[in-house]
């Protein structure tokens, strides 16, 4: 295949998008080869989402043009973009839980005559596509019974069976365990072989090197570079292009961890957890690492009183209550797994989001003091450098990293002594990740305790003092972090190979 002679499957020229006061995408020009995996990288607010929204018809560019297979392409809405051959997988799941896998796959593509559904070969076709991608998923199963990873695969199958020539994937591995990621990569490579182009957006740079053919780097809405990945030396090279500084994360032992136990969990058990016991000490950062479904979220929610679990949990010597309200009062705060549905009030402004976990601090005999709400919002927007032009901005309009910082601000405002962070940097770019890690370390340095529940090994190894390895609802092993940690051993344990190693 001679690259020079091919028309690019997609090209954009001078693409620009203005918002009042902000130029989100600034004169971006690049093109994408057919049948390649083209990665799109950039920091928070670099313009990736806006660019994707223009490609998929959700937003109209202020100026500039797009071409698909040489033809001018101006989608006025997502349907037109799909008709033009561009399908999208979103960061958040866009599947309907109440329908079956099959119904989800054919959703919006049903043939009808006079408003009545008619049979077509559609069903057979989508089943074939699904089987090619992931035979273990039953097409008649209800989607609500699938795991997050399986739902994702249903979404990919839907895009693939719609006959799209370009599939945009925005952070597709954010919710997947390492093994599932491998499976997804297999799917993507098969798509590439059948001449489908994948635009792959991810903050996990290793994935980009593993999978990508070419990469486009955006920074502050501008196009920095488009190059074959073979021409990029290594991760730090790419990171330098993205942010113009070097931020490789390495663990530095901290000295603030004390021997004083603040939280004691004994024999936690529920439908997923199996006899989990551990301690958390004052001033330390502990990590809970395991694959999706290993029980991380369940432990966090049990500690927070959001889910029921048998066993005992004592915090600073007292039993923890059975509701989030009691947990917060005792000094425990949770940054939940799904920030948009569980952490944020997306229809409310930054100012209205921050105080909710500590209303006592802002009120006097039930009367709310708005002026202090204003002061608190200003303080935390400054402290956490949340990028916004106004504290009255709806949190819906913020980028992923800034949304997560608002959720952090909520928890910091609660003055908690123990912070539970469930996937704290999911869907957050490299720069914001570093800032969030700094926030976490600073918390611990001031004598608070932090528990990080993560499926990213790099994250756990980067910041945690002590690491608990989980597999299938059980705590298999506890280890101290340090330069000599055996990564091969960790991966072996969390994938189920470490049963013999129970202490």
Partner 1 sequence: MTISAQIPPRTEFTRRRLGDEAFITLLVVLAAVALFLTASLLVPNFFQLQNMINLVTNNWAVISLGVGVTFLLVSGNFDLSVGGVVALSGVLSVWFAQSAGGANALSTGLGMPYFLAIACALLGAMAIGGLNALFVVRFGVPSIIVTLGTMMVARGIAQVITHGSQRNTNLPEEFGVLGNLYMFGTSVKLPVVLMILLILIAVFIEKKTVFGRKTYWIGANAVAATLSGIDRAKHITYLYLFSSAIAGVVGILLASEFKSGFSNRGMLMEFDALVIALLGGVAIAGGFGSVVGMFFGAIILAVVTSAATGLVLSPDWQFTLKAIAVFLAIVVQTWALARRNR
List interacting residues with partner 1 (CB under 8 A). Answer: 304, 306, 323-325, 327-329, 334, 336, 341-349, 352, 356-357, 359, 362-363, 366-368, 374, 377-379, 381-385, 388-392, 394, 397, 410, 412, 414, 435, 438-439, 442-443, 446
Q: What is the DSSP string of 304-330?
A: TTSS--EEEEEETTEE--SSHHHHHHH
- DSSP conformation class of 416: -
Residue 60 near residue 54 (C-beta atoms within 8 A): yes
| Dihedral angle over CA of 435, 440, 444, 445, nearest 10 | 0
Minimum distance of partner 1 from residue 432's CB (angstroms) = 12
By beta-carbon proximity to partner 1, the closer residue of 277 and 438 is 438
Using DSSP's 3-state secondary structure scheme, residue 28 falls into: strand
Q: Where are the alpha helices (DSSP H) in 42-87?
A: 48-55, 78-83
By beta-carbon proximity to partner 1, the closer residue of 95 and 333 is 333
By beta-carbon proximity to partner 1, the closer residue of 272 and 406 is 406
Minimum distance of partner 1 from residue 390's CB (angstroms) = 5
Q: What is the DSSP string of 200-258?
A: EE-S-HHHHHHH-SEEEEEETTEEEEEEEGGG---HHHHHHHHHSS---------S---
Minimum distance of partner 1 from residue 200's CB (angstroms) = 30
Minimum distance of partner 1 from residue 380's CB (angstroms) = 9
By beta-carbon proximity to partner 1, the closer residue of 31 and 326 is 326
By beta-carbon proximity to partner 1, the closer residue of 318 and 347 is 347
By beta-carbon proximity to partner 1, the closer residue of 131 and 390 is 390
By beta-carbon proximity to partner 1, the closer residue of 72 and 366 is 366
The encoded tokens of residue 375 equal 């002061």
Minimum distance of partner 1 from residue 71's CB (angstroms) = 29
Q: How far is residue 131 from each of residues 140, 152, 186, 187, 352, measured CA to CA in Å?
A: 13, 14, 13, 11, 47
Q: How far is residue 461 from each of residues 16, 40, 202, 222, 438, measured CA to CA in Å?
A: 40, 26, 20, 33, 14
Please state, in angstroms and rounded to a whole number, the distance separating the CA atoms of residues 435 and 418.
19
By beta-carbon proximity to partner 1, the closer residue of 145 and 438 is 438
Partner residues linked to 319 by β-bridges: 314
Buried/exposed 10-28: b ≥16 CB within 10 Å, e otherwise: bbbeebbbeeeeebbbbeb
Minimum distance of partner 1 from residue 280's CB (angstroms) = 20
Minimum distance of partner 1 from residue 20's CB (angstroms) = 8
Please state, in angstroms and rounded to a whole number, the distance separating the CA atoms of residues 107 and 309.
38
Minimum distance of partner 1 from residue 279's CB (angstroms) = 24
């Amino acid at each position: 295949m001679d690259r020079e002679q091919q028309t690019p499957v997609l090209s954009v020229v001078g693409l620009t998008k203005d918002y009042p006061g902000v130029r989100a995408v600034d004169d971006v020009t690049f093109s994408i080869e057919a049948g390649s995996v083209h990665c799109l990288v950039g920091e928070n607010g670099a313009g990736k989402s806006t660019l994707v929204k223009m490609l998929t018809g959700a937003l109209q560019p202020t100026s500039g043009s797009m071409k698909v297979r040489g033809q001018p392409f101006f989608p006025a809405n997502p349907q037109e973009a799909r008709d033009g051959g561009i399908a999208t997988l979103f960061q958040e799941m866009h599947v309907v839980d109440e329908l079956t896998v099959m119904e989800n796959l054919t959703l919006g593509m049903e043939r009808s005559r006079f408003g009545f559904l008619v049979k077509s070969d559609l069903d057979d076709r989508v089943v074939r596509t699904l089987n090619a991608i992931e035979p273990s998923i039953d097409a008649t199963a209800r989607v609500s019974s699938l795991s997050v990873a399986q739902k994702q695969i249903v979404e990919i199958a839907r895009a693939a069976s719609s006959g799209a020539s370009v599939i945009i994937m925005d952070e597709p591995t954010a919710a997947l365990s390492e093994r599932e990621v491998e499976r997804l990569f297999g799917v993507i490579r098969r798509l590439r072989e059948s001449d489908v182009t994948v635009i792959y957006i991810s903050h996990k740079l290793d994935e980009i090197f593993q999978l990508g053919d070419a990469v486009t780097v955006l920074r502050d809405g501008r196009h920095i570079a488009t190059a074959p990945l073979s021409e990029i030396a290594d991760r730090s090279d790419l990171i330098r292009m993205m942010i113009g500084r070097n931020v490789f994360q390495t663990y530095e032992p901290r000295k603030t961890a004390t021997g004083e136990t603040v939280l004691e969990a004994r024999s936690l058990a529920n439908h997923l957890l199996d006899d989990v016991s551990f301690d958390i000490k004052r001033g330390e950062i502990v990590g809970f690492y395991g694959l999706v479904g290993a029980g991380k979220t369940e432990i966090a929610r049990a500690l927070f009183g959001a889910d029921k679990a048998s066993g005992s949990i004592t915090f600073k010597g007292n039993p923890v209550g059975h509701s989030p309200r009691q947990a917060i009062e005792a000094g425990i705060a949770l940054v939940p797994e799904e920030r948009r549905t569980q952490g944020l009030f997306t229809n409310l402004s930054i100012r209205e989001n921050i105080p909710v976990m500590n209303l006592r601090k802002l009120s006097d005999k039930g009367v709310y003091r708005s002026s202090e709400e204003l002061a608190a919002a200003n303080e935390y927007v400054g402290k956490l450098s949340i990028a916004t032009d106004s504290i009255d901005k709806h949190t819906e309009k913020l980028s992923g990293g800034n949304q997560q910082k608002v959720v952090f601000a909520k928890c910091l405002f609660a003055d908690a002594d123990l912070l539970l962070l469930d996937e704290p940097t999911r869907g957050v770019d490299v720069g914001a990740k570093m800032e969030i890690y700094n926030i976490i370390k600073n918390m611990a340095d001031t004598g608070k305790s932090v528990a990080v529940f993560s499926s990213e090994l790099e994250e756990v190894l980067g910041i945690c003092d002590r690491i608990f390895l989980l597999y299938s609802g059980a705590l298999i092993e506890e280890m101290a972090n340090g330069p000599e940690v055996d990564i091969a051993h960790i991966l072996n344990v969390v994938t189920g190979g470490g049963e013999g190693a129970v202490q």
